[in-house]
């Protein structure tokens, strides 16, 4: 695929249109729980609801395809939009430590569910490598590594040689590594969760746009679903910025020997690149928010819509010259989390109905797990560290 043929509307490599679509809603119906949105947050909510009470009649409603959560980067990380010190300023020190523990546990929880349910999504614990290309970024990373223990995090500061042992780029001043991250195929994870939910008696309807979701009912273009509990997982607020993302063809062993990432580490580079080695040995590169003295120039280039994928490829090859001849097979745009994004869970009591909103904040599979698990526990009457998280509110 040449740069002039890259279409940002193309699917990611883990999209699978061959999976059987569920039929659209066919007129009015009822359920115990209706979950609006069948991305990862909605699927986790349905999974934990049925785990807590297998007798529940849970219905997932999606405007697209259930389990087609395929536009992510493939990174399952405990890092979210707010650093621990920023969490502390918003919620207090104790709540920040609790929040960090929940996010670390969520990565482990995703891996545990994948193993128990035998979901083939290429999940692999490799940790996350932060790479600094200039002194400003390096100072920020080293300071965060120094403070990490105070928040319960394990972060190891690395000099340039330490980074290069894991990642084959000369554009390195140093960085840090944390074990609390894994790579996976988000599409295969979503489809695996869908299959588990359906096998446990859950239902889903596809290609059913929702007009309104409120107390006791969800109004769609195909009929009305009446339910005692409504869980709305659709993104809220302003539309998310779209980030350029590309994937290479599966790379040969010699190329991977030059790149590194033998343990499937995630990479976040200070120039605004995020890299993931996929289960089938592609390299996925995506734009991310960044800092450091060179970031503004690069992000300005990447933000130009028509040139974003070619500019991203140019930056990738500049960072990793071994990719100069590697073909790019996929180019797409993925939602970029808003600055400071966190999971959000809100429960509204409107007797005799309950309405809940659960959102990942656009910060990846771990945050989706946190939101889905918390809302399920709240709705089934459980009380735990998940329901006491600082991003859980009651109205």
- Give residue 340's pLDDT band: very low, low, confident or very high (50, 70, 90): confident
What is the 8-class DSSP label of residue 21?
P
Mean pLDDT comparison of 2-6, 65-69, 87-91, highest-scoring range: 87-91
194-207: per-residue pLDDT in tens?
Answer: 999 999 999 999 99
The overall average pLDDT reported for the chain is: 89
Residues 263-281, mean pLDDT to the nearest whole number: 94
pLDDT at residue 262 tops 70: yes
pLDDT at residue 301 tops 60: no
Question: pLDDT at position 375, please?
Answer: 95
- Give residue 56's pLDDT band: very low, low, confident or very high (50, 70, 90): very high
Domain count, the chain: 1
Those residues whose C-beta lies under 8 Å from the C-beta of residue 384, and which sit 6 or more positions away, are 377
Instruction: Answer whether residue 236 is part of any domain.
Output: no
d(CA 353, CA 355): 7
Q: Poorest-confidence range of 86-100, 115-129, 171-185, 232-246?
A: 232-246
Q: What is the per-residue DSSP string for 295-348? A: HHHHHHHHHSTTTHHHHHHHHHHHH-GGGTTPPEEEEEEEEEPPTT---EEEEE
Instruction: Answer whether residue 348 is part of any domain.
Output: no
pLDDT at residue 17 tops 80: no
pLDDT at residue 157 tops 80: yes
| pTM, entire model | 0.92
d(CA 49, CA 44): 8
pLDDT at residue 16 tops 70: no
176-194: per-residue pLDDT in tens?
Answer: 999 999 999 998 999 999 9
pLDDT at residue 334 tops 70: yes
Q: Are 180 and 152 in contact (CB under 8 A)?
A: no
**Domain around 59:** 1-31+45-212+241-343
Question: pLDDT at position 136, please?
Answer: 94
- Give residue 29's pLDDT band: very low, low, confident or very high (50, 70, 90): very high
Strand partners, 359: 344
Q: Are 331 and 6 in contact (CB under 8 A)?
A: yes
Strand partners, 177: 129, 156
**CB burial of residue 4 (10 Å; 0-12, 13-18, 19+):** exposed
- Give residue 318's pLDDT band: very low, low, confident or very high (50, 70, 90): very high
pLDDT at residue 166 tops 70: yes
Question: pLDDT at position 307, please?
Answer: 46
Question: pLDDT at position 68, please?
Answer: 73
CB half-sphere exposure, 299, CA atoms < 13 A? 17
Instruction: Answer whether residue 226 is part of any domain.
Output: no
Give the torsion through C-alpha atoms of 375, 376, 378, 382, to 10 deg: -150
Question: pLDDT at position 18, please?
Answer: 60
Q: Are 336 and 240 in contact (CB under 8 A)?
A: yes
Q: Are 123 and 114 in contact (CB under 8 A)?
A: yes
Instruction: Answer whether residue 197 is part of any domain.
Output: yes
Going by DSSP bridges, is the β-strand pair 174-178/156-159 parallel, antiparallel, or unpaired? antiparallel
97-143: per-residue pLDDT in tens?
Answer: 999 999 999 999 999 999 999 999 999 999 999 999 999 999 999 99
Question: pLDDT at position 6, please?
Answer: 56
Residues 289-302, mean pLDDT to the nearest whole number: 54
Classified as helix, coil or strand, 49 is: helix
Instruction: Answer whether residue 64 is part of any domain.
Output: yes
pLDDT at residue 224 tops 80: yes
Classified as helix, coil or strand, 192 is: helix
Instruction: Answer whether residue 14 is part of any domain.
Output: yes
Strand partners, 393: 346
d(CA 167, CA 260): 5
- Give residue 306's pLDDT band: very low, low, confident or very high (50, 70, 90): very low
Number of Cβ within 10 Å of residue 255's Cβ equals: 18
CATH (domain of 297): 3.30.9.10
What's the first-to-final CA gap in the chain, in angstroms?
Answer: 51
Instruction: Answer whether residue 162 is part of any domain.
Output: yes
Question: pLDDT at position 309, please?
Answer: 85
Number of H helices, E strands in the chain: 10, 20
d(CA 354, CA 373): 17
Instruction: Answer whether residue 357 is part of any domain.
Output: no
Residue 155: C-alpha distances to residues 82, 143, 235 (Å)? 16, 11, 31
Question: pLDDT at position 381, please?
Answer: 87
Question: pLDDT at position 293, please?
Answer: 56
Nearest Cα to 330, choosing from 106, 93, 15, 111?
15
Left if phi > 0, otherwise alpha if psi is -120 to 50, otherwise beta: which for 188? alpha
Question: pLDDT at position 308, please?
Answer: 77
């Amino acid at each position: 695929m040449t740069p002039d043929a890259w279409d940002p509307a193309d699917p990611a490599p883990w999209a699978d249109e061959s999976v059987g679509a569920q039929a659209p809603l066919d007129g009015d119906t009822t359920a115990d729980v209706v979950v609006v949105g069948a991305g990862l947050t909605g699927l986790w909510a349905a999974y934990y609801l049925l785990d807590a009470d297998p007798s529940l009649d849970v219905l997932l409603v999606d405007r697209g395809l259930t389990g087609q959560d395929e536009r992510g980067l493939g990174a399952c990380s405990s890092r979210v939009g707010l650093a621990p010190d920023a969490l502390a300023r918003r919620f207090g020190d104790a709540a920040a430590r609790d929040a960090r523990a929940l996010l670390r546990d969520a990565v482990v929880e995703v891996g545990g569910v994948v193993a128990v349910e035998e979901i083939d999504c290429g999940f692999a614990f490799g940790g996350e490598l932060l790479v600094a290309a200039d002194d400003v970024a390096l100072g920020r990373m080293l300071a965060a590594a120094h403070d990490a223990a105070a928040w319960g995090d394990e972060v190891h500061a690395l000099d340039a040689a330490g980074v290069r042992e894991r990642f084959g780029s000369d554009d390195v001043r140093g960085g840090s590594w944390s074990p609390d991250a894994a790579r996976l195929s988000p599409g295969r994870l979503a489809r695996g969760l869908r299959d588990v939910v359906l096998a446990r008696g859950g239902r889903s309807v596809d290609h059913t746009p929702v007009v309104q979701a409120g107390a006791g009912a969800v109004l769609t273009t195909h009929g009305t679903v009446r339910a005692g509990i409504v869980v709305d997982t659709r993104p809220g607020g302003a539309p998310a910025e779209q980030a350029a993302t590309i994937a290479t063809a599966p790379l040969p062993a010699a190329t991977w020997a030059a790149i590194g990432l033998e343990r499937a580490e995630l990479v976040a580079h200070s120039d605004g690149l995020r890299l993931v080695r996929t289960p089938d040995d592609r390299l996925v590169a995506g734009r991310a928010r960044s800092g450091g003295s060179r970031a503004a120039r690069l992000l300005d280039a990447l933000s130009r819509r028509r040139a974003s994928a070619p500019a991203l490829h140019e930056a990738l090859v500049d960072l990793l010259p071994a990719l100069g001849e590697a073909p790019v097979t996929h180019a797409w745009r993925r939602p970029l989390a808003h600055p400071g994004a966190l999971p959000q869970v809100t429960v509204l009591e409107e007797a005799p109905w309950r309405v809940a909103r659960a959102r990942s904040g656009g910060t990846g599979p771990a945050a989706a797990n946190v939101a889905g698990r918390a809302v399920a526990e709240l709705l089934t009457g459980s009380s735990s560290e998940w329901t006491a998280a600082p991003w859980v509110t009651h109205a």
